[in-house]
A and B are shown apart, each in its own frame.
Chain A
């Protein structure tokens, strides 16, 4: 039984793959989307427990997607971790303004991200530690 459903959204396919792998290893069920529009669709249909959302994406960027997620009653309560190469403070500020719950800058360590996901979902004990 999976620990929870995580939606990973990034237009960089390699990043999606590695997060799929890392979170999968951790016991999560991973859903993926390559742009903001897909992300909105999947979030509404699948109700993930958490969303990892890249900022710079074609069509609908991460900020817009996050804003829409947070203004929709169906998706409002899903925690969102923003993911981007931008590390400047101003961007973090925008990130929180649009309602993001956490923020990780690229380049990032997938392990750190997994830890952050665990702590946000209250899963302090990873499957591996129990093993």
Chain B
């Protein structure tokens, strides 16, 4: 321990006192020494009389002694006074401590503490700094003294900077006195007062820091003081008093943290309790609705049986009897169907339903179902028609389930259509999907119910729904069937005009987005999830995409939605924080790109995820209040490991996905926003599913052009994203616009339609996704300003639109159209060149040529016309 350290252990007054005492002792010694000096001894007895000089000397000594005595007594009294003052201070402190402890919240408590330290211990500056768990910063939470606010502003400090200042050299008790003065100074025991400045004087720049430690000995803050009233370095005693405050503050900080944790847990518990209550209420409602559903046919049966039983002979004519028996028969059938449905649903829930996926002809099933539907429709005087507007309606599906689906939807439509109305079942198909539309001219479904009718519990939630009690479980079963087939089921309605149910089923059950559903799932979220996953798959051109979210036990990650993963994995997989790649990403909130096949994230096994390729991208999705989830992409179609470019693209996508997902997790009005988005997506998507094959090519090409133009990565993401929305931009344009493939007709064979802002309406709620809408809206603008809808010119047109215009033109030219034979790629390229400067941005055309060459070069020989082929068949297999 050096002198500087010891210095602070002794009170400065005491030091002064000791120094004075030493001085007095030295003087006394000197006087004694002078009295016994040999010379003096000799002279005195010899002369017999005291010479005046000796007397003088003695008098002088007496004076000195008197003065010393007075000085000592003054010092003594000062010491007594000082002790008294200290006792008072301690007393005051103790009183304050009681008061401080009564403060409830941390900030009040720390502020009182700082004020007390400043007042009682006499410091001009007091700062109490606190470090939040996990934060690298010590931040001023409370302060007191003159100019405290200004000083506090500069008081925040990085923890590591603070720690680096604390050395054993500067340690006093368990605190640290930081001073700028040179270290080699004399000790307080032997001070060498020099040039007026005392060792114990406080100097500008000095600081005393009392660290505050938490329960486990971690540094949670500090009490820092400066500018002492007496302008002296604080004594050890003062330091120890400060440390008491430090400990107190530590306890307070810990308490506040525990309280916060407690509140958080209590909040969670409360929420869980509410959910349980809600579920309970829903279940009760469910049971009461189901019992109503069961009682209705039972009631009819009882009434007819009762009438027949109590009738006298010949009172009920034979024909009438037959009619009654028919009713009884029908109603008992209805009852058994209902029970069957309930069993189906519970089997779906238990996962016990085993369906067989086999190639079936949807048109055949539809015809069969219509046969069965006709008698009921005729009885209800409803005109039931079926249209099959597709040559090929083959689909891989479970035959019985699909028939049940058609019957449910058909019956439903008939039931809600008054006599004289009509029900139309229409089958359409494209390369990827077969779509069934069931349209009626019935009573319609009120807007607030549209969101709920497919939800089993919610469907019976309100009395409003109960009036439509007949819908019963049918739609919930339809939804389960469609989900199982990886399709999409949606409903639109205009009350009192009619409803339309649309089922989109993928032809091959191939990869489909599976969404974990549960009591916690909210309306609207599911579609957004599906959409987001499909988009990511498309833009990243990957086979497997998954979204994990915290929600399992102890914060474990569970699969929220996934494409290309096994159903069981989606249901069962949980990843603990810190485990595996996703667990690491969740813990560190940093993206990970695994490009080495050796870094396989997980092996195969029950509840574990296995991937075909080792390359893997995992990105955290951040919400306003923390982690929403982890987005993972693996199995790129290219079979090549993900690179830096993919990582950037993925990060931009992740941002958009979090924006879209944030809404459902938050407050009510934002939920409405997500519903809007979901509805818009639904409108934009059915029948125009994002086509993996064609749109994938479009996305890849657009991305390559954007990169050839050296656009910033954020712009590349945006363009890719807009390119993936092939169908969306065209929704509502049919009939008025030369369709997507007609758009590039360079010599305007087709009349340009008018593309107005309202045509892009379906995209409006998606604005969270960025400037995509603008890109879609401006795809038909011409470089020279003669395009539409806004007549933008040159760089006024968003660069994304300029890129898509060229990409689509090229695709259209090589694919050929009604009045225009397909052109070779070379011809198409010449055509683009010819129109550069008038129709297209010449720079984009250059970039396109470059990007296209690079893309095509490697396969030029092996698959001569593969590209054209892909674009003409549009994923026909």
Contact = CB atoms under 8 A, between A and B. Distances in A.
A22 B443 contact: no
A68 interface: no
B467 A17 contact: no
Interface in B287-344: 291-292, 295-296, 298-304, 306-307, 310, 315, 320, 324, 327, 331
B623 interface: no
A108 B298 CA distance: 10
A21 B315 CA distance: 11
B307 A108 contact: no
Interface stretch (A40-48, A56-64, A73-81, A117-125): A56-64
A62 B232 CA distance: 90
B296 A12 contact: yes
Contacts of B304: 14, 18
Interface in A73-112: 85-86, 106-111
B443 A58 contact: yes
A14 B467 contact: no
B466 interface: yes
Contacts of B307: 18, 21-22, 110-111
A49 to B, nearest CB: 22
Contacts of A86: 292
Contacts of A21: 307, 320
B292 A15 contact: no
Nearest to B419: A34
A14 B299 CA distance: 10
Given A58-B443, A58-B467, A107 B302 contact: yes
A110 B292 contact: no
Place the interface of chain B in its size category: 20 to 34
A56 B300 contact: no
B738 interface: no
B77 interface: no
B76 interface: no
B302 A12 contact: no
B467 A15 contact: no
Residue among B302, B315, B466 with the most chain A CB within 10 A? B302
B300 A18 contact: yes
Contacts of B299: 12, 15, 85, 106-108
A110 B331 CA distance: 17
B468 interface: yes
B468 A58 contact: yes
B469 interface: yes
Nearest to B463: A61
Contact of B306 (A56, A58, A59, A109): A109
Nearest to A34: B418
Contact of B303 (A58, A61, A110): A110
A36 to B, nearest CB: 10
A38 B73 CA distance: 114
A34 to B, nearest CB: 9
Contacts of A22: 307
Contact of A25 (B300, B302, B315): B315
Given A12-B296, A110-B306, 10 more contacts: A14-B300, A56-B466, A85-B295, A85-B296, A107-B301, A107-B302, A109-B310, A110-B307, A111-B307, A111-B310
Closest 10 CB pairs of A and B: A107-B302, A106-B299, A107-B299, A85-B295, A109-B306, A14-B300, A18-B303, A111-B310, A58-B467, A14-B327
Interface of B: 291-292, 295-296, 298-304, 306-307, 310, 315, 320, 324, 327, 331, 443, 466-469
Interface of A: 12, 14-15, 17-19, 21-22, 25, 56-59, 61, 85-86, 106-111
8 contacts: A12-B300, A17-B327, A18-B307, A18-B327, A56-B469, A57-B467, A107-B303, A108-B302
